[in-house]
Amino acid sequence: MAERRSEDVWAPVRGQRAVMLTTSRRDGRTVSTPVGYGTDGSVLYVMTDPGAGKVKRLRHTPTVTLAASTLRGEVKGPPVTAVATRVAGAEAEHGRRRITATNRLAWFFLLRRARRAGRDWAVYAVRRSDDSTTAEHDHIDTIDDTTDAVDTAQPLTTARPHTQETS
């Protein structure tokens, strides 16, 4: 009978205030962004504004790379390949609590600002792709692209600091 090891699958990122989340564009180029996170067993949670470009990238390519980093984006550890899934309901609230437990004051102001703008942040459950264990929670409410909380009638915008249109 195989013995199950109880190793910390997120040991490479533990101890840092942020992780560098690397997502892929449709053309294959990668975009790295430092994000706050929270962990619960084999699941790492990240949260982002639903209008952020990474939401659109995660919708079409859920495979991501994570590495321990500072909030300013200085990578501090080896990359880890994982799969991100947007979650809703009780699982999203649980993930939100795990994330905000790290720096309550900063997250309070960020979430308050988002709610005043009439939107709630998107929560993603990230699981290592080399992790063959099953999820520790009995039920995960996921939402697909058709029931996405983002208003699809509004175009998603991302900041492009070096791109200027000339007339």
**Domain membership flag for residue 76:** yes
**Domain membership flag for residue 85:** yes
The single-letter DSSP state of residue 75 is: B
**Domain membership flag for residue 92:** yes
**Cα separation, 165 vs 167, whole angstroms:** 7
Number of domains within the chain: 1
- Helices 89-100 and 104-116 sit at what angle, rounded to 10 degrees? 130
**Domain membership flag for residue 49:** yes
Global pTM reads 0.70
What value does the mean pLDDT take over residues 22-38? 93
Backbone angles phi, psi at 103, to 5 degrees: -150, 80
**Domain membership flag for residue 72:** yes
pLDDT, tens digit (0-9, with 9 covering 90-100), for 57-75: 999 999 999 999 988 889 9
* Domain residue limits at 86: 18-132
What value does the mean pLDDT take over residues 150-161? 40
What value does the mean pLDDT take over residues 22-42? 92
